Amino acid sequence: MWLCALVGSQEARADSPTLQHCFFQLSALGMDPVILQGGYSAFHSLYPFLCTPRMVLLESERRSLTIYPSEILEGALYQGSASQAHDYRIIKNLHITHVVNATAEISDAFPSVLRYLRLRLSGRVLVHCSLGRSRSSVLTLGFLMEHRRWSLLHAFRWLKERRACAAPNAGFLRQLSDYEELLFGQRLTPLDDIRL
């Protein structure tokens, strides 16, 4: 997402030392902070539905907030869970036009409004499975490998930066490695290089 400044990038180095210190302190605590280019106002102009004017301090208040899918490709590809794919507020706010349902047990939520499992797309797509971790990650990775011509490792790192909980199982990773060989004529990514 273009709003994120990677630590060590020119944009991030231009930020205040206090902000950098705070970033590294939160990282050391196991949190996943992000420095936003343009700050809160730029973020709010793009995602007003993710912002709230009230201070959220209590765990019960945090649980009542709507959690959105991860944005994998800005304004085009999202990955999330089945519950997110069934929340029409999320679908409407993200302007989702297509949904890829990677489950056998969960029905399509809005078949009269959205298109499901159409892979030649020009709209915004939400890919989901039950928890938004394994099956949907495989579909997202395969898409990035084929349509962006990225190696499995590059696609995996891209996905993990945007969706930390992405965790395709070992069998799926082997299949993606086979797919990488099919796409590029050789295996570019040793599976040992992929760290979940």
Q: pLDDT tens digits, residue range 16-47?
A: 778 888 888 888 887 777 777 788 888 888 88
Q: List the beta bridge partners of residue 97.
A: none
In the chain, the number of structural domains is 1
Q: Report the length, in residues, of the chain.
A: 196
- Put simply, whether the predicted model's pTM sits higher than 0.95 gets the answer no
Residue 49 counted as domain residue:
yes
Residue 60 counted as domain residue:
yes
Q: What CA–CA distance (Å, rounded) separates 143 from 44? A: 29
**CA-based nearest residue to 137, from 78, 192, 183, 59:** 78
Asked whether 97 and 89 are in contact (CB, 8 A), the reply is no
Per-residue pLDDT, averaged over 150-156, amounts to: 97
Per-residue pLDDT, averaged over 120-132, amounts to: 80
In tens, the pLDDT along 63-74 reads 888 889 999 998
**CA-based nearest residue to 115, from 97, 130, 133:** 97
Q: What CA–CA distance (Å, rounded) separates 77 from 140? A: 8
Range of the domain at 38: 1-65
Percentage of residues of the chain with pLDDT beyond 90 = 48
